[in-house]
Amino acid sequence: MLNYPDISPVAFELGPLAVRWYGLMYLVGFVLAWWLGRVRARRADSPVTPQQVDDLIFFGALGVIIGGRLGYTLFYGFDQVLRDPLSLLRIWEGGMSFHGGLIGVLVAMALFARRIDAGFFRVTDFLAPLVPLGLAAGRIGNFINGELWGKPTDVPWGFVVDGITRHASQLYQAALEGIALFVVLWMFSTRRRPVMAVSGLFLAGYGLARFSVEFFRLPDAHIGYIAFGWLTMGQLLTLPMIVAGLIMLGLAWRRHTAG
């Protein structure tokens, strides 16, 4: 068993300003996406120029932050916001929904695609491989914050938290939704493939990874299980992603074959 190191959520302080690890992880994610975007933009088939990557990441960051926070409020923390409306603004304390952030990013990408006069799915295909490493960084931020722990376990890699050995489900998600999904998407996106296929693979891949890890993760205490004694809110919200991703993959290859 491993002892949780009880890391301070504050990375460092600059006078009255406390810089938190959770916020730094988001910064790491955006920087990695920007760098990877610059690399991808050099490809001949890229719909985005290296100079436009800066705007792409700016639009995406707004979508992540606004959509992620509003999504968390709607799906998980509405009662908390009713009690303390200012909590909606305190994103450094945690409380971001991937599904809300995804919706926010899709809206932002629609606006960005219109701005550069490019097809929506060509832009999302470009963006999809840039996202997973940011997801991994966010999950590491969850681990540092000591939140979103998994169920009790006796596996040797479990972490002892408050006297109970638990699955480090945050790190499982960082590995599957982050590193593994990045490798798959990056390799797939470097080969010839139809438009919308990369976006579809991202949705299906993330959905399957998230759905799987939820079996090791505790549901939110104020929500619990939605149904069957095991279905969580995360799984419920992820099911449409899996279905949509598989449909998009099928449509992409069907159009490619027909063409």
Per-residue pLDDT of the chain (259 residues; tens, 9 = 90+): 888 988 888 888 888 888 888 889 989 999 999 999 999 999 988 999 999 999 999 999 999 888 887 777 776 666 666 676 666 666 555 566 777 888 899 999 999 999 999 999 999 999 999 999 999 999 999 999 888 899 999 999 999 998 999 999 999 999 999 999 999 999 999 998 999 999 999 999 999 999 999 999 988 777 788 888 889 888 998 999 999 999 999 999 888 665 4
Amino acid at 197: A
The amino acid occupying position 187 is M
Residue position matching structure tokens 């988001």:
26
* CA–CA dist 236, 229 (Å, integer): 13
Domains of the chain, residue spans:
2-143+153-258
Model confidence, pTM: 0.86
User: How far, in Å, CA of 20 to CA of 27, rounded?
Assistant: 11
Name the E strands within the chain.
2-3, 10-14, 17-20, 159-161, 164-166
Beta bridge partner(s), residue 17: 14
Cα–Cα distance, 233 to 71 (Å, whole number): 12
The pLDDT score that the predictor gives to residue 112 is: 96
Alpha carbon of residue 199 to chain centroid: 14
What are the two backbone dihedrals, phi and then psi, of residue 90, each rounded to the nearest 5 degrees? -90, 65
CB neighbourhood size of 59 (10 A): 22
Cα(123)–Cα(100) distance, rounded to whole angstroms? 19
Which tokens hold the place of 147? 């939140």
Measure Cα distances from 155 to 159, 160, 173 in Å. 9, 11, 17
Rounded Cα distance, 249 and 232, in Å? 26
Q: Name the amino acid, one letter, at 217.
A: R
